[in-house]
Structure 1
């Protein structure tokens, strides 16, 4: 290269600029994949923690619901249903002595403690 090209024909301020990207296509792709994997590594533990907390809260709330509304049930059972009756959420079921599973309540996606019941509402 000649000195004239480096400084430009009219002086050092008139240097031609290179408009190409700094990195090649392969390097940009690798960088994007690395960023997506890092974001996934940050978000995944939060999602798993949220699901674990919701599952344990649903199990406790379901046990209370079954104890209050089905006096003859032996156990309670919860499952996360995305397309269940009542919409997406934790489904609470009572397990009867013969192994019969009876739905009791839809607890929602983030279950909370059940509302207090009156004295005449138990077993209904």
Structure 2
């Protein structure tokens, strides 16, 4: 006599996936969409804050370093001189933009300018 016992129904069910392939795919997509919905507002908020901080800092730099400029312009440049960051340019009356500084990815308040540093 052999001691073979039939497997209980629970043991056979443990080897199969709990959910079907279609349901798992839907759950994965739902999780990815929910994750994007949580992260996207944060990224957009940081980008907006960085742009407004760059515009304010660039206006100060243009006022200090280029007295003939009529305005300032900032642009995000990922492959610019000095690495990725906000590039500050002074705009002349003719519309020509002269680069002044790379403000970095998250610009801060401009440092004080010594009187010796101001161009004549």
> What TM-score comes out, normalization by structure 2 length?
0.89
Superposed CA offset, 1:67-124 (max 9, x none): 0111111100000011112111000000011111100000000000111111122236
What's 1:15 paired with?
A: 8
Runs of 4+ in 1 over 3 A off after TM superposition: none
Asked if structure 2 preserves the Cα contact closer than 8 Å seen for 1:90 and 1:106, the reply is yes
Q: State whether structure 2 residue 120 is matched by structure 1 residue 117.
A: no
Matched, 1:25 2:39: no
Q: How many residues align?
A: 114
Q: Give the TM-score, by structure 1 length.
A: 0.86
C-alpha contact 1:71 1:123 (8 A) present in aligned 2: no
Alpha-carbon distance in 2 for matches of 1:94, 1:103? 6
The runs of 5 or more residues in structure 2 that have no matched partner are: none
Aligned partners of 1:58 and 1:106: how far apart in 2? Answer: 10
- Residue 54 in 1 paired to residue 50 in 2? yes
RMSD after superposition: 1.6
Gaps of 5+ in 1: 1-8
